[in-house]
Homo-oligomer: A and B are copies of this chain.
């Protein structure tokens, strides 16, 4: 085996929109469920809304397939809320995100070559 984690990252592709957005949300920092929901709504300008059913269901599945892990670290107690549960990407989760982003990049490039999409110089 080449790397370290469970299985082949590309075997999980393509990701569902919910899973992709959750991975993107946790790429920079740990977040709790409700925070993930807000970040996605904010980042997509409200175009993509994640319902609580999709959110917690997706998190459960992502934990089971080792994309996410629950974090023990708590932020500044003044900013904390003891109900919160914080999640972070596992190394495997990062590999899967990377693989999916590359797949999408390839897809967009292909569309540009076929002139289905305008290509900008420094995109």
Contacts of A105 in B (CB 8 A): 108, 117, 123
Docked complex Cα distance between A103 and B109 (Å):
13
Q: A14-B48, A121-B122 are in contact. Are A104 and B101 (CB under 8 A)?
A: no
Contacts of A110 in B (CB 8 A): 43
User: What's the nearest-Cβ distance from chain B to residue A49, in Å?
Assistant: 12
What is the interface size of chain A, counting residues whose CB is below 8 A from a CB of the partner?
29
Q: Are A114 and B27 touching (Cβ within 8 A)? A: yes
Contacts of A104 in B (CB 8 A): 104, 107-108
Docked complex Cα distance between A105 and B114 (Å):
15
User: What's the nearest-Cβ distance from chain B to residue A9, in Å?
Assistant: 12
12 chain-A/chain-B pairs, Cβ below 8 angstroms? A10-B47, A24-B111, A27-B116, A97-B116, A98-B117, A101-B117, A104-B107, A105-B108, A109-B123, A119-B123, A121-B121, A121-B122
The 9 closest A-B pairs by CB, nearest first: A14-B17, A101-B117, A101-B111, A105-B108, A27-B116, A108-B108, A104-B108, A104-B104, A123-B123
